[in-house]
Structure 1
Amino acid sequence: MTARRRRLARTAPGGLLNGLPGVSVAVAPADPHATITGVVVAEPDVTPRLGPGTLVLGIGLGVTTIPDLLAAAARARSLAVVVRGPAHDDAGTDLAAAARAAGVGLFVLDPATPWTDLLTLATDAAQERGLDAEEADDGVPLGDLPALADAIADMVGGPVTLEDAEFRVLAYSRFVGIMDPGRATAILGRRMPPEWSEHLDRTGALEQLRSTNEVIDVIDGPGNANRRLIVAVREGAARPLGFIWVAEAAGPLPAHAVETLRRIVPIAVPHYRRHHELLSAQHRHRQQLVRALLQGHGPLQRYADELELPRDEPLVVLAVTAATERDLPPRTWERIVDHVALSCGARRWDAAVTRIGRTVFAIAHLSRGGHTDAVSRLAHDIVLRSAPATGEQLCAASSPPAIGARALPGRRAEAERALAICRSRGTQGFVHYDDVRAEVIVDQATAALRSRPDLRLPGLDRLRVEDARGRGGGQLLITLGAYLESGGAIPATASCLGLHPTTVRYRLDRISSLTGFDLDDSTTRLACALELRATESGGDALTP
């Protein structure tokens, strides 16, 4: 923590907020002598767990719901509430009066300031105060990950690196000596190096880390690396909270290192859980920003900047859903979101992930000069590894790349349309929009036909009536469909239907007689094919 943040951690909420120039307006001042004990995020339709001394961040709240939050904060003896909303109009005056009456500080965050900036400072402040007063059973201040890394290094006998569930470096132990190049690269790059990701993936160790509690012993790492021990930190069968890495240094690791590391995992769980709790509100906020970008709501460029999406490099929208039609419980969807985010992190993709309805979206940054084949590899990895990670088979689709936040809603629509094509095939898989663009065009055209019965070809209705009466063998529509699918070739139609070409010609003459269609005309054949496709995929939707 920087010296500036340490000073802020010892201030009241007013001092914390005023430490960021211009970020807030004090509508109703907080106790100038109080200090923050925790940070709570209050969102629409979510009941926050307020407590004494907490700083409450009212993210996404409407003006009418803020007074209720102020009253709840007063009952819980919270210190202050921060919202985006009116500061100087009549509504702001009413809110200020309500806050003063309740004895709760009220601050209004400047529209140009990301919530994440405030959340980072506030959680740092609350965490430092909590660390002074609360220790885990191992004697390490709860949530102090650098201290935890030092303690594990002492117990196991080698330098330690702690990573989160997306393989980003959270903390590392102190070490004097020659540092293994792989460990140095991870620390400097703040995440697992790509060569290690590829090595663990190729050897199956990555899948073991995702799905088991076993200590992975890596003795043949890339670049003649020293031996590594890696273990996932998780509670029960839940997704990993993160990973612990132990590296061999000048000498070999002790014989007890593997067993010691296995016993350390339960000790590390509460530390990771504290870290996870502090970040969960930030993750929820990021998901809200991603949804807004994909839906085209709000100041898109500011949201993209807050998510650190580049302004001048390609962005791709990846859409993922379950192959099944049945309803899935919320927990399963959470596992799918986690699986997509973890897969992106393991392949070093900077991606922002969220779920909208039955679709999980990832906005991925395709670095300049990068190729869309990399997107395909990522999507195939997500799909192929989906069953053990989520319990479900998945389908995935990706949009073409685009530059700029304003293009993202359109790219989302393209990814969804391609995903619908993928799901219609009835199996798990992946498609790129450019590869199924023709199918998407036809699918959109038939969807338009289903909503426009006035565009119907009456002749096809006459064929349906004739087939219903059993005349002509009741096979006129089937014959026409096979003829159209065969590109107007009678021999191919006959082969498809198992008929003699003469029989096919007779039926086609009968079809022309009943409908008035000139089946030698390519436009007529196209119109018939589109309506038949719309009827087959939409049931009796064309019937008035």
Structure 2
Amino acid sequence: MSKTGLTVKALMEALDGAVHGLVAAPRGLGGLVRTAVVADEDGTVPPAALVVIPSGATALAVRAERQGASAVAATGDDADGLRDLGLPVLSVDPSIGPDEFAALARSVLEADPTESRHGDLFSLAQTVATLTGGIVSVEDAAGQVLAYSASSEGADALRRQTILGRGCPESFLAHMREWGVNERIWAGEVVEVAERPDLGAARRLVVGIRAGERALGTIWVQVGDRPLAPASAQVLHGAARLASVHVMRANSGARSTGRDTEELAVGLLTGAFDTDALARHLGADPSTPVSVVALALRGPEADLPWRLDQAAEITSVYAAAYRRDALVIPACGLLYVLLPATTGRSPAAWTGELVQVLRDNLGTPVQAAVAGTAPRMRAVPSLKKVASRTLDVVADRPERRVTAFEEVRSSVVLRDLFDTLADTPRLRDDRLDALDGEQRRSLSAFLDAFGDVTAAAGRLHVHPNTLRHRVRRICSLTGLDLDDADQRLLAAITLRA
């Protein structure tokens, strides 16, 4: 049992992909968890425990609550059935058994203070596992395990030895040296290590984690029950770049977290602070042109914060592979990606690939807006507004996965105009207030069709003579002169606003 423990929130963040979501948290996520156990009919629950409920045994959750559990975890319908419990309820990846999930949680909780600084790496390892379809471990330069993903039945003997022994067996490290794998890793390659049944090792990919010329560690992806994703090498390159930041921060004992960096990066979007100074602090060149992309998750509002965290992890890996100095910034319920100008694939093409990956892995509709390229960092706030406006315009058109601002410029500008009109009530034709809903729809259709009664009537599903009668009645009620171009324009703007 951990002497100090972690809050439910911190434990969830460390377990990341092994937890599919938060079903309920009636008293928040601040409760302390010191151990993790699997509930059974005869056992007692230690205080401050995360209790894993086996399939079909939801009645045990009530007993766990009475005995002082801090949270419970279950899969699928079982988790949904515990919404009324007075504890946080975690929904677990159904491919992970209760015993394995409890062991994974304990490994996080029982890490010593030095190891606990690698919490971000557990999250990263799970994200890499999700994106590659493999089984992931992160090791330091000496082969000691820093973090790993939840594993399925496909884990090989070498993986089990590595996790249980907290490090890669020396026999395998010796073979690595003999095969010349290390030289290729530190040259920046993603290296394929062939299957070796005699060593209990399935096929693997490995990439080095580096800071300049300094070797910090490695990320391993073992092939499990299914083939690795075609983009696995790209994913590993991005993950290695992110891991170097996490490892250096952990090794230095720095208290600054990824969340601190996110909060500083929000300043680049809002322009509330010295943009150039913030850019330099975050390792970006303030004078470099930067493309601005925004992502929106169109799922249930209650699930949005959790899904947004998952989306940020996946996006960070892909963005780091695309541009080493890319920034991924969650803000205002959206994800913003700042991509310093580069040659090669356009931001729109890269964004299309990312949206597909997010849709596939999150199981929720995702839309993206490519706002354009700011000539330097201080111009980013204006493009941030353009990106969010673009997403507003296409929100009711989920088939549009990636939209460039230029494609919907008129709609975006009109929305800004309507917002201005809403703040200035006198800038409208108040004579139209006398119209009912049907009359307003009829006049709108007539104006949108440029006075083509047949086309407008078809859109309204009424006879053309019916629409002619309505238009004459509207003009009589309001005094509107539809032969006057100015009056037509003002009427159309008023109805749209």
TM-score range, shorter chain: 0.5 to 0.7
State the 1:412 CA deviation. Answer: 1.1
Is residue 515 from structure 1 mapped to residue 478 from structure 2 by the alignment? yes
Tell me if structure 2 keeps the 8 A contact 1:230–1:244: yes
Residue 437 (structure 1) aligned with residue 454 (structure 2): no
Q: CA 1:144–1:424 in 2, change beyond 3 Å: closer, same or farther?
A: closer
Query: Quick one: distance in 2 between partners of 1:329 and 1:509?
Result: 49
Counterpart selection for 1:145 from 140, 144, 164: 140
Q: What is the Cα deviation at residue 333 of structure 1?
A: 2.6
Q: Unpaired runs of 5+ in structure 2?
A: 1-9, 11-112, 118-137, 145-166, 196-201, 208-216, 224-242
The verdict on how the C-alpha distance between 1:176 and 1:293 changes in structure 2, with shifts beyond 3 A counting, is same
- Cα offset, 1:153, TM superposition: 7.9
How far apart, CA to CA, are the structure 2 residues paired with 1:511 and 1:412? 42
How far the C-alpha of 1:319 sits from its partner, in A, is 1.5
- Residue of structure 1 equivalent to 2:82: none
Q: TM-score, normalised by structure 2?
A: 0.52
Alignment match of 1:531 (pick from 484, 490, 494) = 494
- Equivalent of 2:384, from 408, 412, 422? 412
Taking the TM superposition and a 5 Å limit, the aligned residue runs for 1:110-509 are: 145-148=140-143, 151=168, 154-155=171-172, 159=176, 184=184, 187-188=186-187, 190=188, 229-230=204-205, 243-244=219-220, 275=247, 278=250, 281-324=256-299, 326-328=301-303, 330-348=305-323, 350-367=325-342, 370=343, 374-426=346-398, 429-464=401-436, 475-509=438-472
Specify whether residues 449 and 151 from structure 1 end up closer, same or farther in structure 2 by C-alpha distance, changes over 3 A only: same
One-letter amino acid matched to 1:357? C
Distance 1:418 1:292 in 2: 21
Structure 2 counterpart SS, 1:456: coil
Q: State the percentage of identical aligned residues.
A: 24
Following the alignment from structure 2 to structure 1, what is the Cα–Cα distance between the partners of residues 380 and 347?
A: 16
Whether the aligned pair in 1 keeps the contact of 2:140 and 2:218 (CA below 8 Å) is no
> What CA distance in whole angstroms lies between the structure 2 residues aligned with 1:246 and 1:158?
17
- From the superposition, tell whether residues 349 and 379 of structure 1 become closer, same or farther in structure 2 (CA, over 3 Å): farther
Q: Give how far 1:144 is off.
A: 7.0
1:11-62 deviation digits (Å, cap 9, x = unpaired): xxxxxxxxxxxxxxxxxxxxxxxxxxxxxxxxxxx9xxxxxxxxxxxxxxxx
> 1:273 and 1:290 mapped to 2: Cα distance?
16
Flag the 1:323–1:331 CA change in 2: closer, same or farther, 3 A. closer
Give the whole-Å Cα distance in 2 for the aligned partners of 1:513 and 1:357. 46
Q: Which is greater in Rg?
A: 1
* CA distance in structure 2 between the partners assigned to 1:289 and 1:191 by the alignment: 33
Amino acid at match of 1:460: L
Secondary structure class of the residue paired with 2:301: coil
Summarize the Cα distance change of 1:526–1:216 in structure 2 as closer, same or farther, 3 Å threshold. Answer: farther
Distance in 1 (CA, whole Å) between partners of 2:416 and 2:245 is: 47
Is the 1:339–1:390 contact (alpha carbons within 8 Å) kept by the matching residues of 2? Answer: no
Q: For residues 333-365 of structure 1, what are the alpha-carbon distances to aligned partners after superposition, in whole Å with 9 as ceiling and x for unaligned?
A: 321211221221344463111212311222111
Aligned partner of 2:120 in structure 1 is: none
Conserved? CA contact 1:321–1:359, under 8 Å: yes
1:329–1:312 distance in 2 versus 1, CA, 3 Å: closer
Distance 1:217 1:448 in 2: 63
Structural RMSD (CA) = 4.2
* Superposed displacement of residue 148, structure 1: 0.6
Contact persistence 1:294–1:412 (CA under 8 A): yes
Quote the offset at 1:407 in angstroms: 0.7
- Give the Å deviation of 1:152: 6.0
Distance 2:416 2:347 in 1: 25
Per-residue deviation, residues 452-487 of structure 1 (Å, max 9, x unmatched): 3222312211222xx6xxxxxxx4222211112223
Paired residues, number: 307
Give distance in 2, aligned partners of 1:282 and 1:339. 18
For 1:357 and 1:406, the matched residues in 2 are separated by 19
> Which segments of 5 or more consecutive residues in structure 1 lack a partner in the other structure?
1-45, 47-125, 131-142, 160-173, 197-214, 219-226, 233-240, 248-270, 468-474, 535-544
Letter in structure 2 aligned against 1:506: H
Provide the TM-score with structure 1 as the length reference: 0.48
Give CA-to-partner distance per residue, 1:220-269, whole Å, 9 cap, x none. Answer: xxxxxxx962389xxxxxxxx9831699xxxxxxxxxxxxxxxxxxxxxx
CA contact 2:139–2:219 (8 Å) conserved in 1: no
Q: Which SS does the other structure have where 1:478 is aligned?
A: helix
